[in-house]
Amino acid sequence: MSRRLAVADKGPYAGLTVGEAKFVREYITNGNNARAAMTVAGYRKDQHPIIGRPHIKDAILRHFRDWAQEQKLTPADIIGELAMIAFAPITDTRIPIKDKMRALELLGKHLGLFTDKIDLTLRKRWEVEVSLDRLSDSELAHLEVTAHKTQLKTEPTRTVTLPPRRTNGSNVPPGS
Task: Give the amino acid at 51.
Answer: I
Assess if residue 131 is contained within a domain: yes
Distance CA 8, CA 21 (A): 10
Residue 51 lies in a domain: yes
50-100 pLDDT, tens per residue?
Answer: 888 898 999 999 888 888 899 999 989 999 999 999 999 999 889 999 999
Q: Give me the amino acid identity at 140.
A: L
Write the pLDDT tens digit of every residue in 108-142.
Answer: 988 888 766 656 565 555 565 656 666 777 877 77
Residue 135 lies in a domain: yes
* Any domain includes 168: yes
Domain end, chosen from 9, 38, 70, is at 70
Q: Could you give the CA distance from residue 167 to residue 12 in angstroms, rounded to a whole number?
A: 59
Q: Give pLDDT tens digits for 134-168.
A: 677 787 777 777 766 665 444 444 455 555 555 55
pTM (2 decimals)? 0.48
Structural domain span for residue 87? 75-110
